[in-house]
Structure 1
């Protein structure tokens, strides 16, 4: 797979364009409805852009970096050559969401959070693959290894669980940072005071065999008095109080199993 058409212009498409520009496979075209974003993503890899299906370029691989709900619809609507590989990049979407008319279907799922304008080292990102046939496996793996040092095979059920784990480890964790920010701002302070704590918490988890081994705080100690004071402070924020008590209970229950 030497040539690629990238379908989409969102955060993941931007990261893929940057990675392809450095890795060797040629990004020949970006297909995207958003002209401004599509042209920007295409320029990152010196590729062409189009929003016209009839102008879709020929390539070995068509990578669909679109929203989960659009995977099947977009794939079915484009005149993709029957001999090409068609791969979506969604963690929670099964392989068979791609129309069965494509004989060479695949999944190319990078486990990372992507933000517009923020560069990431794609070589450090685990990529999870799935293919519709054994014959496609070696070809797909060789392509993925040109972008990342960590390539794993996972079926749709495994990948859905990996995606769920990512929601806990990334999306929920970041939301906890946002809630923490709201508490310190209520005390007249800025988010910066929490950044060293966040950095050390992440560093400890990365260094540990398991994040359970480095859990701290009143919940893991069973400090009910402190928890009660915290919950009283959140009395005016019932949703935050529920989150606090639910997570505290979860920490305590998990700590008893260690």
Structure 2
């Protein structure tokens, strides 16, 4: 049994991963910005495992520090960190981009991952064991027009993951970088600021990945034998061949 901290656990991949890990009997620290949603998930999963919840915004260093430091002593040995929290906002050319959207993506996708990791890594190094799973995107593999800042933020996740691996392997800490393709979650609803019709069109005409598909892949990486480290894992739905090429049924 491991103690696993998951950021962005209130929906999508994070929530599905929490469910998957609970079924394996691991203790969970579920994190997010919506206390009521965390409470509901905690109630749901507490029947099968121990669950602790923390409400904070990963992009705010003070909130991250206060939340992690508030953990009771018997919750402080974190074996696995899953950096899932992140966001996408807008789909416009740079010349028309909303700088608040840019800040939100860089703060959540990049700085948030760094802030949380900085709090957890020292304990892993001291124990000479641990596993960090970072959720990137196929957008890191190929930049696409109108998504430049989002792609840049996910390329940063790839670079950070590589740097972590270079720094942490000697301490017995595994680092895994997951790059999902199109996943049918509330991702597009957030990107298009609640435009349901536009969000639905992203997943029309083909079967996108489900959050559970990515959670299954994360679980595989976490449960690999001690001598096996999955460094990078790219997951596409079968209808997608690269970030902007999806074959849809007419």
Larger radius of gyration: 1
Normalised by the length of structure 1, the TM-score is: 0.44
Greater relative CO (CA pairs within 8 A, separation 6+): 2
Structure ranking higher in helix proportion: 1
